[in-house]
Amino acid sequence: MKTDRSDILTCLRSSGDYVSGQQLCERLGVSRTAVWKVINQLKEEGYRIESVPSRGYRLVESPADVYSESEIASRLHTKWAGKKLYFFESTGSTNPDAKRFAEEGAPHGATVVADRQTAGRGRRGRSWESPAGCSVYFTIVIRPAFAPDKASMITLVMALSVAEAIHEVTGLDTGIKWPNDIVVNGKKVVGILTEMSMTPEMNEIQFLVAGVGVNVNQNGPADFPEELRRTATSLKMECGKTVDRAVLLERILARFEADYETFERSFCLSGLKQRYESRLIGRDAAVRVLDPAGEYTGISRGITDTGELVVEREDGERTLVYAGEVSVRGLYGYV
């Protein structure tokens, strides 16, 4: 009945008024008894639904921060992002799950969501703390029509979408530490990990998966491992109130769909660059580039249309940073 629950929630939400049982039956192709059973299940889950004879049903209120397949699906109004939804109360990590579903034929935009991850990881294999009930963890499958050398830009597209969605939902001032860490008040709230699968000939992308982890409703530093307490925070800690995770996820997917379609028009970041740079932390400020060939400092001058960080060295020469760690002075404890 999961699909029926999300369909009925969608109908009730989109109406905003009473919807008759007969209308629900006709729209969903189910019996009056099936509708009545689902309405009662939703009430048991904490949804306040008014039932008035001859008028039908009206959704009055949803439970606080309910996070389920039905709730998420009922909020989505996207064309492809999240239309195929896989929801897990607990899983190892959403990225491997998404890769498995993609290999089995999951469509462009298929999205894996988990309330809890037991084996989450970040860049360079770093562990990502993944408790239940307080974060957003998801991975979206992307089947691109561009060459492999453009794949790295998707990470920046997702970073922009997440940063703007958080600002929209919470009002917090979100910044992006190049290329894809989302920061609020000098501390990290989001990690993003994009992975690519190539065709056997290694000349085309089979699919990409972009995984996102957002610290949403952690109450304080004690909710993080000791090694992260100085550098990590949550949306609730910063805005002082519980954030509805289903609402946030819906906004992220909606923004990513729009931003990805902008990217697809040129297969570069030209249409998104101005918005990205407006949130780029350390722009026109000193940065330290940790390059395997040798560290150097300079002034961050924004990004190129293909996502490289432009760093102006002391002699005035401009260098493009393609990979490696970029440390922004004054951020994450750097002086």
Instruction: Say if pTM beats, i.e. exceeds, 0.85.
Output: yes
Model pLDDT for residues 168-225, shown as the tens digit of each residue: 999 999 999 999 999 999 999 999 999 999 988 878 999 999 999 999 999 999 888 8
**For the stretch 104-124, what's the b/e string if a residue is b when 16 or more beta carbons lie within 10 angstroms of its beta carbon?**
eebebbbbbbbbbbeebbeee
Percent of the chain scoring above 90 in pLDDT = 67
Higher pLDDT, 63 or 75: 75
Please say if the pLDDT value at position 2 is more than 50: no
Please say if the pLDDT value at position 1 is more than 90: no
Model pLDDT for residues 319-328, shown as the tens digit of each residue: 999 877 787 7
For the record, the structure tokens of 307 come out as 């996502």
Nearest to 38 by CA among 64, 59, 65: 59
Model pLDDT for residues 130-156, shown as the tens digit of each residue: 678 899 999 999 999 999 999 999 999
Residue 171 CB neighbours (<10 A): 9
Please say if the pLDDT value at position 162 is more than 90: yes
- Distance from CA of residue 203 to its chain's centroid? 28
Higher pLDDT, 126 or 281: 281
Please say if the pLDDT value at position 335 is more than 80: no
Type of residue numbered 151: A
* Confidence bin at 3 (pLDDT 50/70/90): very low
**Domains (ranges, CATH) in the chain?**
2-61 (1.10.10.10), 69-278 (3.30.930.10), 286-328 (2.30.30.100)
**For the stretch 206-239, what's the b/e string if a residue is b when 16 or more beta carbons lie within 10 angstroms of its beta carbon?**
ebbbbbbbbbbbbeeeebbeeebeeebbbbbbbe
Rounded to whole angstroms, the Cα distance separating 28 from 47 reads 20
CB-based burial label for 156 (10 Å; 0-12, 13-18, 19+): buried
Token look-up 């562990």 returns: 127
* Confidence bin at 277 (pLDDT 50/70/90): very high
Phi, psi of 197 (to 5 degrees): -120, 125
Coil, helix or strand at residue 51? strand
Rounded to whole angstroms, the Cα distance separating 274 from 279 reads 9
For the record, the structure tokens of 22 come out as 């007969």
Edge to edge, the sheet with strand 111-114 lists 85-88, 111-114, 135-142, 205-215, 187-198, 181-184, 174-177
SS (H, E, C) 288-320: EEECCCCCEEEEEEEECCCCCEEEECCCCCEEE
